[in-house]
A = this chain, B = another copy of it.
Amino acid sequence: MAPRKPSARVTIRTVAADAGVSVAAVSKVLRNAYGVSDALRAKVQESITRLGYRPHAAARGMRGQSYTLGVILPDLTNPFFADIMAGIDAALERTEYQPLLGVGQSSPAVELELVDAMLDRQMDGLILLGPRMTIDRVAAIAERAPTVVMAHHPVGPTRFDTVNDDDQLGARLIVQHLAGMGYRSIVYFSQDLQFNESQVTYHREIGYRAAMTEAGLGRYISVVMAEQAPREVRTLVRQLLQGRPRPEAIFCWTDFIAFEALSVARELGLSVPDDVAIVGYDNTRYCDLAQNALTSIDQSGQLLGLQAARLLVERIKGREEAEHLVITPRLVVRASTVRKNAVSTGN
């Protein structure tokens, strides 16, 4: 059997020899560094493409940058992350930076291992997506490498950037919409995390409470929390829907929970939205399916991802002051909150 690598590696030295210049010159061309003549640059570029030279990332990582960005996602089941990644990819399209993903399994411990693994690998920067770890851990990471955090709100001054949608506003839009449609007892279905004021669920709760009060529905305020395991979600939703009095609407902190809620409602023979309205958050592609027709909040994952990648590259290039971007969310109304009997009453 032939050995795995028959052809010798093309190094910066090969290129230099081929182009008849020094290695330093080639390195400078590679990094767009100062002090190379156009003629030299052209010669080198020509040799690079002809020889098919590719810089050895590990060697780069030892001295300079690795041109690798780490992205840590909590899980792979939420299609919302696909939109975000699309945005990140788009932002990095024309740069040398390569995003590489790790899955944090919604576990602070795994997330931290992943961060270490990525920094061991000399990644130039990190994007943390909805991290479950506490915010002081995030702060500690930001001391070690340029960091941008998404779907995780800053508290106080930070040394990392954040990109979020306005979760309080999103929740308000939902409550206002539901109240406008005549729903009064609106339950907020949140996630069971150790109390952490940087979590999006917490911000949505604030918005929910404020909007309920403003709408004169303060006495209907009710927050339920569940682990995100489907079974537990279903059990809790079932309890809610079988309770007396049954809530008129459920605002789920993310679409996935809302889909489970739709499922339970159907199993119980309840009509959505006539017996109970259901709302999600993230406006993932499954909301559009007729069997879901889920009213939800669109926070434009693409845009969020794009901005996050942009901020990270800026920071790698030297920016020191933290930037905190907030995207304005948009309500997308579908059948899950629009009563059909409005028509039948008319007849």
Contacts and interface: CB of A to CB of B under 8 A. Distances in A.
Nearest to A320: B1
Contacts of A103: 85, 89, 101
Contacts of A121: 57-58, 66, 68, 98, 121
A285 B89 contact: no
Interface in A193-237: 230
A279 to B, nearest CB: 16
Interface in A242-266: 259-260, 262-264, 266
A320 B1 CA distance: 9
Contact of A285 (B5, B58, B85, B230): B230
A122 interface: yes
Interface stretch (A76-84, A167-175, A325-333): A76-84
Nearest to A66: B58
Contacts of A262: 289-291
A158 interface: no
A263 B285 contact: no
A39 to B, nearest CB: 28
A72 B264 CA distance: 35
A67 to B, nearest CB: 9
Nearest to A110: B89
A105 interface: yes
A38 interface: no
Interface of A: 1-2, 4-5, 54-62, 66, 68, 75-77, 79, 81-82, 85, 89, 98-103, 105, 116-117, 120-122, 143-145, 230, 259-260, 262-264, 266-267, 285-286, 288-292, 320
A119 to B, nearest CB: 9
Q: Nearest 3 pairs between A and B by C-beta?
A: A58-B61, A76-B82, A101-B101
A259 B289 CA distance: 7
A116 B57 CA distance: 11
Contacts of A289: 259-260, 262-263
A4 B144 contact: yes
B285 A267 contact: no
Nearest to A103: B85
A144 B4 CA distance: 6
A5 B55 CA distance: 26
Contacts of A230: 285, 288
Contacts of A145: 4
